Amino acid sequence: MDEALMPEDEVNTDVLKVTGDERMRQNPLNPGPSSVGGQLPSGYVDPATGEVYRDFVIREMRGREEKVLAGNGMFVTQMIQVIINCLESLGPIVDKQRLAEAVNQLPLSDIEAMTLTLRRLSLGDDLWLEPTCPIEDCGVMVREKVNLGDLEMKPIADPMQHHVTSVLRSGREVKWHVMRAMDAKWIASLPKKELKAERFNIMLLGRIESVDGQPLNRLSNGLKRSIEQLDDWLSYGDRREFDEIINAYEGDMDKIVIFDCKACGHEWSLLLPVMHKHFFSLSGI
């Protein structure tokens, strides 16, 4: 899921071509003719009631949203704004201001899920991938159609708990929260140079609140000091174990596509770039 926060020029999109020849089927939530309903893998926890809202209705993108995606900046930030524009309801919430607040609190996996829904609603289920075989002596182009409706969603381990305490094998106690839209927006606001040089630390900073009771405040401490604290507090083993914990806990989407070159028999895989501009491209890359 963290690949959604990679700079655009580092994404291996190979070649994507999209078609819209099969529209997404309407959901039984009875939305309008250009809207569709769905269910989030994680959901929004209402702070007032403690209830988790996972059912949503979202409308098709219009020209205003197309302009947002055509602007400068990281796609994840643009897509969050597009979702705020297009979202019609989340559970019982229909007020636009409350919807905007809820979207910023949603786990990043839910933002991916609604991005997929918007792509299917706007352009259909068919996505053509045309990668080139990576074997140097082959280089044959493989053409494969992916049905976006078949992508599987992995729900969050506990929809009621978006804030978690994990005790690592080293004895370190880490308090953290699932990556939210607001965290993704903070990461996207960082200079590209820092994002490339300190990517793993920055992904940790997007989640970790404290280590052994010592608060990690990325806003008041600043990026440099927060990274220094992480470097001091967590060993290499701690970091790898924590990475396994968040991958197992947070909701996600199965975005791995397997290819088989008929010319040389080589098999390889690509990660479908759901959270990048190419996913909505009409003319390929």
pLDDT digits (tens, 9 = 90+) for 16-43: 444 444 444 444 344 455 888 899 999 9
Measured CA to CA, the distance from residue 62 to residue 51 in angstroms comes to 32
Do residues 75 and 179 share a domain?
no
Q: How far apart, in whole angstroms, are the C-alpha atoms of residue 107 and residue 86?
A: 18
Give the pLDDT confidence of 54-88 residue by residue, as tens digits: 999 999 998 899 899 888 888 899 999 999 999 99
Question: Which letter, b or e, does each residue of 66-75 get, where b requires 16 or more Cβ atoms within 10 Å of its Cβ?
Answer: eebeeeeebb
Same domain, 194 and 239: yes
pLDDT tier for residue 8 given thresholds of 50, 70 and 90? low
* CA 96/CA 113 separation, integer angstroms: 20
User: Is 148 buried (19+), middle (13-18) or exposed (0-12) by CB count in 10 A?
Assistant: buried
Host domain of residue 273: 2-152+260-280
Asked whether the predicted pLDDT for residue 168 surpasses 80, the reply is yes
**In the chain, what percentage of residues exceed pLDDT 90?**
49
The answer to whether residue 255 sits within a structural domain is no
Q: What's the CA gap between 136 and 215, in Å, rounded?
A: 50
Can you give the pTM of this predicted structure? 0.83
Six-digit token string for 144: 């494969």
Alpha carbon distance, N-terminus to C-terminus of the chain: 22
**Alpha carbons 106 and 83: distance in angstroms, whole number:** 11
- 183 & 105 share domain: no
Higher-scoring residue by pLDDT: 268, 276 = 268
Binned at pLDDT 50, 70 and 90, residue 234 comes out as: very high
> Which has the higher per-residue pLDDT, 139 or 170?
170
Q: Would residue 157 count as lying in a domain?
A: no
Residue 283 has pLDDT above 60, yes or no: no
Please tell me the predicted confidence (pLDDT) of residue 10. 54
Answer yes or no: is 285 within a domain. no
What's the maximum distance between 2 C-alpha atoms anywhere in the chain?
A: 61
Residue 15: predicted pLDDT: 46
221 & 275 share domain: no
CA dihedral 125, 130, 134, 135 (to 10 degrees): 120
- For the stretch 109-148, pLDDT in tens is 999 999 999 988 888 888 888 888 999 899 888 888 888 8
| Same structural domain, 125 and 51 | yes
Q: Give me the pLDDT at residue 9, please.
A: 54
**Co-location of 9 and 121 in the same domain:** yes
Q: What is the mean pLDDT of the chain?
A: 85
Does residue 158 form part of some domain?
A: no
Return the pLDDT at 6.
52
Could you tell me if 131 and 266 lie in one domain? yes
Q: Which helix (H) or strand (E) holds 16?
A: strand 16-18
Q: Are residues 38 and 142 in the same domain?
A: yes
Task: Let me know if residue 65 belongs to a domain.
Answer: yes
Number of H helices, E strands in the chain: 10, 14
| Confidence category of residue 219, pLDDT binned at 50, 70, 90 | confident
Number of domains in the chain: 2
In a domain, residue 254? The reply is: no
- Is the pLDDT at 108 greater than 70? The verdict is yes
Residues 11 and 132 in one domain: yes
d(C-alpha 125, C-alpha 120), whole Å: 5
How many Å is the Cα radius of gyration of the chain? Answer: 20
Do the Cβ atoms of 124 and 20 come closer than 8 Å?
A: yes
What was the pLDDT predicted at 274?
Answer: 84
DSSP code of 243?
H
Same domain, yes or no: 99 and 185: no
Are 9 and 143 part of one and the same domain? yes
106 plus 169 within the same structural domain: no
Encoded amino acid at 10, one letter: E
Tokens 């020029």, located at residue: 9
Output 218 or 75, whichever has higher pLDDT.
75
Residue 231 lies in a domain: yes
